Structure 1
Amino acid sequence: MTPLATVNSEYIKLTSTRSPYWCVAIVVVLSIGISTLIGAVLASTPDTGLGISDYLLGLNQFGVVVLMIMAVLGATSEYRFGTIRATFIATPRRARVLIAKAVVFGGLAVVLSAVLAVISLGAVKALAGSSSKFSFGDADALRQLWGTPIWALLCVIVGLGVGALVRHTAGAVVIILVWMLVAESILAVLPKVGSAIGPFLPFRNGSRFLSSTASSPDYHWNSYVSLGYFALFAVLVFVAAIVVVERRDA
């Protein structure tokens, strides 16, 4: 099967099951709903101390987690239902299958997060007006508009990689959620070693790029290097998944 045909096959799989639609719907509700709520609060209480990254909290924190879970399902569902054997028969180059999944799921994450970033910030601006203290031409706003899709893309690649490595949906989802939301938060605040470990934790580096506190002195590099650091981590997880999938039985 040609690369384009493999991508088309993965697109058909994505659009022919219900779970991606549910995941997308949840991301939309979280993104627009939380931004609308923040905009309403700002309209009545202008001095909340929130930054522009907080306006996209529903998207670049909660929504991205849902996109990662969707990516995990994209990798593990085929093992669960036994269709992965047919996929590898049709495309013996297994790396091509994972790359096609990354193209399809990553493309969806980029487009969806880019559109929702605009809508979410627009909702805050429409409700809060000057209380929102930003305009779409500001450097910080532009950083959120192009940085959020990149953050979402990299998280989806991590989700696909972990899903392909673990092959079990529940296990992969638990690993991602505990790692991203629990383990890194705990490691960063451990006495004596937390300050040394914190700057090297991958998800904290990735989310730092979009954070209003990106200039934190605890890191050894600027926020752009943090984004590159997380990108390298995502690529390494994905490459590890390709190597393992190529070597083991389907």
Structure 2
Amino acid sequence: MTTLAIPTVTEPRARFRDLVAAEWIKLWSLRSTYWVLAAGALVVTGIDVNSALTNLDWLSQRDAPAPMDPRMRFDTLSSAFVDPAWQILMVVAGSVGALAVFGEYTSGLIRTTFTAVPDRRAVMLAKAVVMTAVTATLGAFVSVTSFGVTQAILREHGGLSIGDPGALRAVVASALLVPLSALVGMAVGALVRHATGSIVTTLVTLILVPAFLQGETYRWVKELGNAMPITAWNALIENPAMDHPPAKYPETITEAWIVFAAWPVAAVIVTVLAVRRRDL
């Protein structure tokens, strides 16, 4: 008898760009993704514009302003980046980032993904690339829109242009705050792998923990607070043309940029290691 050899067919290894394309499709296959992101963008922009309109009304009615007195000057930049509004956007971006990871675990899709692509590290890096691209675009849109509209509203009362001191820095920092938050959410989702637990942990990490680290009694507490993204963002959006009350252990601009660089890198590392070292 003659034995026939059956040739084996080796599937080509998935290219990284193919993984990115697959993650892009998975992200946008959920209607909740673009609804949540769009709603977050509208809410934040609306709050900033409303702040500018409210301040315009107050400035128009203010009696005998003294433009030469620094204490009477109004910081128009603050209307473009209202703290509570951007905290909302941080939570939205962080939740979407967490959903991109825990959503596959809760649905069981992650088993199919890792069966098709055993290289878990490449899969998670592709997720991070897609999430960064989407949320960075969102952050840039909201930041530029908020700045442009609010400063146009306040143009008669010292509205800034992008070339004024501190303006470009504030716009860039606000745009980068969104992907930073999304990547932190991804790291939390990879660690917790539960819907409610991931979202709550993301909220605590991005918003609540920094709120407890604002005291100036102990330097180590303030330094820990300075290492949080929201604190660094507040330092970066500060208008250098305004007189600010002195603070103990203030965060420098260089330190704030370091925080902005360190958190996304750490978040991606945690995401990759958590998936590689833990079973499904």
Give TM-score, length-normalised by structure 2. Answer: 0.80
Tell whether the 8 Å contact from 1:39 to 1:128 is kept in structure 2 after alignment: yes
Question: Shift of residue 50 of structure 1?
Answer: 4.2
Cα deviation per residue 1:63-85 (whole Å; 9 max; x = unaligned)?
12211111111111000100001
Aligned to 1:126: 152
Aligned partner of 2:262 in structure 1 is 232
Contact 2:76 2:151 in 1 (8 A): no
- Quick one: distance in 1 between partners of 2:158 and 2:85? 17
Report the counterpart of residue 27 of structure 2 in structure 1: 14
Compute the displacement of 1:16 (Å): 0.8
SS across alignment from 1:45: helix
Whole-angstrom distance in 1 between the partners of 2:201 and 2:174: 23
Counterpart Cα distance in 2 of 1:170 and 1:90: 28
Q: What is the alpha-carbon root mean square deviation over aligned residues?
A: 2.4
Q: How does 1:1-250 map to 2 (within 5 A)?
A: 1-46=14-59, 49-57=74-82, 60-189=86-215, 192-193=217-218, 195-201=219-225, 202-212=228-238, 217-219=247-249, 222-250=252-280
User: What percent of counterpart residues are identical?
Assistant: 28
Q: CA deviation at 1:209?
A: 3.8
Contact residue 151 and residue 206 of structure 1 kept, 8 A = no
Give the letter for the 1:240 counterpart.
V
SS in 1 for 2:236: coil
Q: Is the 8 A contact 1:59 1:117 kept in 2?
A: no
- Paired with 1:69 and 1:213, the residues of 2 have a C-alpha distance of 30
8 Å CA contact retained: 2:90, 2:206: no
CA distance in 2, matches of 1:196, 1:2: 46
**In structure 2, C-alpha distance between the alignment counterparts of 1:94 and 1:73, rounded to whole Å:** 17
Give the CA deviation at 1:51.
Answer: 4.8
Length-normalised TM-score, structure 1: 0.88
Which letter does structure 1 place at the counterpart of 2:183? I
Contact 1:74–1:160 (CA under 8 A) maintained in structure 2:
yes
**Contact 1:26 1:63 (8 Å CA) reproduced:** no
Q: Give the 3 Å change call, closer, same or farther, for CA 68–48 of structure 1 in structure 2.
A: farther
Superimposed CA distance per residue, residues 26-78 of structure 1 (whole angstroms, 9 cap, x where no aligned partner): 22211221122012112212278445144222663321221111111111100
Query: In the TM superposition, what whole-angstrom CA distance separates every residue of 1:119-165 from its partner, at most 9, and x where no partner exists?
Result: 11222123222225312221321112222222222221111111111
Q: In structure 1, the residue corresponding to 2:42 is in which secondary structure? A: helix
Q: Which moves more between the two structures, 175-184 or 17-26?
A: 175-184
Measured against aligned partners, the alpha-carbon deviations of 1:157-177 in whole angstroms (never above 9, x if no partner) come to 111111111111211111121
CA change 1:59–1:116 in 2 (3 A) is: farther
| Distance change in 2, residues 1:167/1:16 (3 Å) | same
Look up the SS of the partner of 1:158 in the other structure: helix
Q: How many residues align?
A: 248
Displacement, 1:211? 3.4
Structure 1 stretch displaced more, 69-78 or 45-54: 45-54
Q: CA 1:48–1:92 in 2, change beyond 3 Å: closer, same or farther?
A: farther
Shift of 1:22: 1.7
Distance in 1 (CA, whole Å) between partners of 2:200 and 2:210 is 14
Q: Provide the C-alpha distance between the structure 1 equivalents of 2:217 and 2:167, rounded to a whole number of angstroms.
A: 36
1:221 is displaced (CA, Å) by 5.2
Provide structure 1 residue ranges, at least 5 long, that are not aligned to the other structure.
none
| C-alpha contact (below 8 Å) 2:138/2:178 kept by paired residues | no
Runs ≥4 in structure 1, deviation > 6 angstroms? 213-216
Work out whether residues 184 and 267 of structure 2, in 8 Å CA contact, stay in contact via their aligned partners in 1: yes
